Amino acid sequence: MTSNSIASSSTAAQVVNNNAQFKGNIDSFELPWVEKYRPQLLKDIVGNEETVERLQLIANKGNMPHMIISGSPGIGKTTSVLCLAHELLGPAFKEGVLELNASDDRGIDVVRNKIKTFAQKKVTLPPGRHKIIILDEADSMTAGAQQALRRTMEIYSNTTRFALACNQSSKIIEPIQSRCAMLRYTKLTDKQVLQRLREVCEAENVKYTAEGLEALIFTAEGDMRQAINNLQSTWSGFGFVNDENVFKVCDQPHPVVVNAIIASCLQVNVDNALKGLHQLWRQGYSAVDIITTLFRVVKFYDGMPEYMKLDYIKEIGLTHMKILEGVTSLIQLGGLISRLCKMSMDSSAFTV
């Protein structure tokens, strides 16, 4: 054997070893917490109790209708359908379920080929059960694909049931809506999100403060997926979950600073309010970040009369509209602060 062949064989062996080591590293990676703690049974789902009870009745009786589940992102729509499929099909789940996400190509060809092929496939299922096709983000399907899907739902309804998860049910064509049971999910309450965050913290031995969990709830806005992802990011990055670390990870203005700006506006202290605004601007927050946090802080601000809160929200909304149109300068935000201060002034000061 020549020296060149010996060298090439040793190099190949090294590549194989490197690949094996790399594969071992991948296998050793932990699942994201949002997947690791995803509920497997309907009884473990947090929030939307009435809708989940309806799904539990379907699971007990075994006769699942075509259904559309609509609601905001991260509140358990897809998880609910997967849990229902697990309880209906048991060990036959892998063979009896086809799940397609918005990341997949879901034009008319996919409906005609992939979905139709699965609907025609013979699968051994428990008595009285049907194959289940889950279409996540169904509102992003093209109109042509939805028209083709309507016919497929009719032809194979004896063997296959469809579950469509979407953010806006109005984007599903009416012929499909009329063939489905409609289930609507609402955002989770702060208490429900807090309960699950505490469970995850306990399971992962996460060190946290009460203010840290409050910050996670504030940034999540009722989105459980967002809350758990932010929790894992904060714990991985800082090793401790407090409010300061959470807002650094989420890159949102700290509500305490925004709260001080609103308080200064209520006291008609323009200089202090603008000082807080400039502080946020120097930290690199965009106009959209600042205006969004302003709205959320005003919405839950204690001690502000209701009529004034409505006036503040109206003014913030008008400025938000201008910012979304592209006017994202500091002057725009400064003008908002001055108008908020003017609202808090005594009207008699403007009379001549």
CATH class of 255-347: mainly alpha
Per-domain residue ranges of the chain: 3-30, 42-184, 190-250, 255-347
Model pLDDT, residue 254: 87
End-to-end CA distance of the chain: 106
Tens of pLDDT, residues 250-293: 888 888 899 999 999 999 899 999 999 999 999 888 889 899 99
Tell me what the mean pLDDT of segment 166-192 comes to.
90
pLDDT digits (tens, 9 = 90+) for 47-80: 888 999 999 998 888 888 999 999 988 888 889 9
Residue pair 88/129 in contact by the 8 Å Cβ criterion: yes
How much is the pLDDT for 2? 47
CA distance 300 to 293: 11
Paired tokens of 109 = 């060809």
**Topology of the domain covering 42-184:** Rossmann fold (3.40.50)
The sheet with strand 97-100 has its strands ordered as 97-100, 131-135, 160-166, 67-70, 181-184
- Spacing of C-alpha 166 from chain mean position: 12
The yes/no answer on whether domain 190-250 falls in CATH 3.30.360.10 is no
Mean pLDDT, the chain, rounded, equals 84
Task: Work out the pLDDT band at 229, boundaries 50, 70, 90.
Answer: very high
